[in-house]
């Protein structure tokens, strides 16, 4: 009986996730918030330098040089991809929850193997494609590397979450998150505007 309920919940999760992606298909691309731009870095550095009048040239150059600022800028873009505000819109709440649970169960698993580590490495590398390359094709095609692998991993995380601990309690938690995710679909179009170019 528990197995049938797990399969039902996973199926409902797939439906909610698919509806979430469908809402995003009105977008032509992600906004510049995820794309690295050397021009933006140059403008940012110029702005920093102009606001530091009276500061010694050595300190200004130390804290406002291109390599350090590039690293900080790329880190910020990468962390924006993992930000819960974006994740709850792109993957939905249940998808984001599943990804977190998947990472947790791989790290907590004493029997983790090469496949587990490979999954984590792939998931942490995939956002760099959008940040550094920003391929100019449709969001539907981008979802093949920025949505499908994460959702499959999310389903793994949800299954692991339901398989460990008190089943009824975990079932209630997943059901609540599923209801919130389905409810959030109503408001999704308004909230994704900061990430979406239409």
- For residue 47, pLDDT over 60 is answered with no
Q: Is residue 179 part of a domain?
A: yes
- Residue 183: pLDDT band (50, 70, 90) is very high
For residue 194, with 0-12 CB atoms within 10 Å meaning exposed, 13-18 middle and 19 or more buried, which class applies? exposed
Q: Is residue 42 part of a domain?
A: no
Q: Is residue 106 part of a domain?
A: yes
Q: Is residue 57 part of a domain?
A: no
CA proximity to 132, closest of 81, 86, 92: 81
Q: Is residue 176 part of a domain?
A: yes
CB 31 within 8 A of CB 194: yes
The pTM assigned to this predicted structure is 0.81
For residue 102, with 0-12 CB atoms within 10 Å meaning exposed, 13-18 middle and 19 or more buried, which class applies? buried
pLDDT, tens digit (0-9, with 9 covering 90-100), for 132-172: 887 788 888 888 899 999 999 999 999 999 998 888 999 99
Dihedral class, residue 86 (left if φ above 0, else alpha if ψ from -120 to 50, else beta): alpha
CA proximity to 175, closest of 48, 2, 4, 5: 5
- What pLDDT shows up at residue 106? 92
CB 9 within 8 A of CB 174: yes
Domain that holds residue 6: 2-37+86-197
- For residue 37, pLDDT over 80 is answered with no
CA 102, 104, 108, 112: dihedral to nearest 10 degrees?
Answer: 30
Q: Is residue 53 part of a domain?
A: no
Q: Which residue has the tokens 């599943």?
A: 98
The pLDDT of 14-39, averaged and rounded, is 80
DSSP state of 133: I
Round to whole Å and give the CA distance between 188 and 64: 38
Q: What does the block give as tokens for 141?
A: 């095609």
- For residue 51, pLDDT over 60 is answered with no
Q: Which residue has the tokens 């947790």?
A: 104
The pLDDT of 59-77, averaged and rounded, is 69
**What percentage of the chain has pLDDT greater than the value 70?**
82
Q: Is residue 65 part of a domain?
A: no
Q: What does the block give as tokens for 118?
A: 């490979």
DSSP state of 130: I
Q: Is residue 110 part of a domain?
A: yes
Number of domains in the chain: 1
- For residue 14, pLDDT over 90 is answered with yes
- What pLDDT shows up at residue 120? 93
């Amino acid at each position: 009986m528990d197995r049938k309920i797990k399969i039902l919940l996973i199926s409902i999760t797939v439906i909610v996730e698919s509806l979430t992606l469908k809402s995003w298909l009105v977008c032509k691309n992600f906004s510049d918030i995820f794309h690295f731009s050397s021009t933006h870095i140059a403008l940012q550095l110029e702005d920093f330098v102009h606001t530091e009048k009276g500061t010694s040239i050595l300190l200004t150059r130390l804290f406002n040089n291109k390599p350090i600022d590039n690293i900080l800028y790329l880190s910020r873009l990468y962390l924006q991809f993992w930000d819960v505000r974006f994740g709850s819109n792109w993957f939905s709440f249940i998808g984001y929850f599943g990804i977190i649970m998947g990472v947790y169960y791989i790290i907590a698993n004493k029997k983790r193997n090469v496949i587990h580590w490979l999954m984590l490495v792939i998931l942490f590398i995939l956002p760099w494609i959008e940040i550094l390359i920003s391929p100019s094709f449709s969001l539907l095609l981008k979802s093949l590397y920025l949505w499908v692998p994460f959702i499959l991993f999310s389903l793994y995380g949800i299954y692991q979450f339901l398989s460990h601990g008190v089943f009824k309690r975990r079932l209630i938690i997943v059901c609540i998150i599923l209801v919130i995710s389905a409810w959030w679909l109503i408001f999704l179009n308004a909230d994704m505007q900061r990430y979406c170019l239409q």
